[in-house]
Amino acid sequence: MKTKITEMFGIEHPIIQGGMHWVGFAEMAAAVSNAGGLGIITGLTQRTPDDLAKEIARCREMTDKPFGVNITFLPSVNPPDYPGYVKAVIEGGIKVVETAGNNPVQVLPVLKEHGIKVIHKCTTVRHSLKAEAIGCDAVSVDGFECGGHPGEDDIPNFILLPRAAEELKIPFVASGGMADGRSLVAAMALGAEGMNMGTRFMATKEAPIHQNVKDALVAASELDTRLIMRPLRNTERVLSNPAVERLIAKEKELGSAIKFEDILPEVAGVYPRIMRDGDMDAGAWSCGMVAGLIHDIPTVKELIDRIMAQAHAIVHERLASL
């Protein structure tokens, strides 16, 4: 299946594994790339630029296929060493960078200078148009269904994707609610050139996370996610657990007076305890509504092959027969 995205990134299938904190290690990225998609290493999961350089090198030992690096630009009093991370990406020979969070305009010139394609994650049409205007090569359009931060406009993909198709000149992929061949065909019918999956890739054999997390995803339904941090205008979709319910209770109690410090026990530094140690009640962790479509834990190759087979069957059998 050839699309503008497969041609731009030099991949076989129009499937991207989005950057995920404490999930996007070399093992995850290599497995996706080896299966014909585009794997992504999560840059800021690596504590330092030197650690990222080593992770890129480790991934190169696992795959000879293209893979990328996610760099998320966060508002922070003490920001990460972004120039250092960008340097590690360039020196590591990376040709695709997924950016997220704040506007990536400050790093675009140096990335472009080194022939690196940039795909920016956006939750609105206006942000997608801004990404196009500053020179991003593609965008990942995140609908309200997505795990992590869906923005504050609450537009689901059945509206957001065709709106993006109406406005954008650069190609885009669909993110949020993507799980299988049905997702891929639907996304492409609405104007996307492929899809970005996060939560679904967590429930695979190669995902370098605790089995408890994978089992939780299989057990969850589409009703089991919650939106937190709405009063702080930093909305995040997470899987419900006791810590999340405590956080939501604080939000209700404190109302507009809530501060980030009030919820630190439920959100600060919890990812290692969850993803590495399997402590499922440690705090809040990003999860999409797509959990309701996750029923097994295949290998990455089995998952991608199944997606493509289902997509081809839908197009050539079900749709063609109509």
Q: What is the pLDDT of residues 164-206, one digit of tens each?
A: 999 999 999 999 999 999 999 999 999 999 999 999 999 999 9
| Overall pTM > 0.85 | yes
- Amino acid identity, position 265: P
Give me 80's structure tokens: 């990460």
Question: At residue 77, does pLDDT exceed 80?
Answer: no
Strands (E), 74-209: 96-101, 117-122, 138-142, 172-175, 195-197
| Whole-angstrom distance, CA of residue 71 vs CA of residue 36 | 22
pLDDT at 297 over 80: yes
pLDDT at 78: 87
pLDDT at position 76: 80
**Residue range 247-276, pLDDT digits in tens:** 999 999 999 999 999 999 999 999 999 999
For residues 296-309, average pLDDT? 98
CA distances from 2 to 12, 38, 194 (A): 8, 14, 10
The four Cα atoms 52, 177, 16, 60 give a dihedral, to 10 degrees, of: 40
Quick check: 88 and 70 in contact, CB under 8 A?
A: no
pLDDT, position 161 = 98
What whole-number distance in Å separates Cα of residue 101 and Cα of residue 97? 13
Six-digit token string for 135: 């020179």
CA distance 199 to 214: 10
pLDDT in tens, 196-241: 999 999 999 999 999 999 999 999 999 999 999 999 999 999 999 9
The single-letter code of the amino acid at 125 is: V
41's enclosing H/E stretch is: strand 39-42
Strand-pairing partners, residue 120, are: 99, 139
Is the pLDDT score of 245 beyond 80? yes
- The reply to whether CATH 4.10.490.10 applies to domain 4-204 is no
Q: Is 217 helix (H, G, I), strand (E, B) or coil?
A: helix
Are residues 311 and 181 in contact, defined by beta-carbon separation less than 8 angstroms? yes
Q: Are strands 117-122 and 138-142 parallel, antiparallel or unpaired?
A: parallel
Nearest to 43 by CA among 29, 31, 33, 62: 29
pLDDT at 59 over 90: yes
Question: How far is residue 217 from each of residues 13, 26, 206, 212, 224, measured CA to CA in Å?
Answer: 25, 22, 15, 9, 10
Q: Which residues pair with 69 in a beta bridge?
A: 41, 97
Predicted confidence at residue 224, as pLDDT, reads: 98
**Where do we find the tokens 């501060």?**
259
Give the pLDDT of residue 75: 80
In this predicted structure, what is the pLDDT of residue 50?
98
Going from N- to C-terminal start, the domains of the chain cover 4-204, 221-286
Percent of the chain with pLDDT over 90: 98
pLDDT (tens digit, 9 = 90+) per residue, 10-55?
999 999 999 999 999 999 999 999 999 999 999 999 999 999 999 9
- The pLDDT score that the predictor gives to residue 69 is 98
The predicted pLDDT at position 43 comes to: 98
275-285 pLDDT, tens per residue? Answer: 999 999 999 99
Element (H, E) at 39: strand 39-42
For residue 9, CA distances in Å to 16, 39, 115 come to 10, 11, 12
Q: What is the mean pLDDT of the chain?
A: 97
What pLDDT is attached to residue 186? 98
pLDDT of residue 90: 98
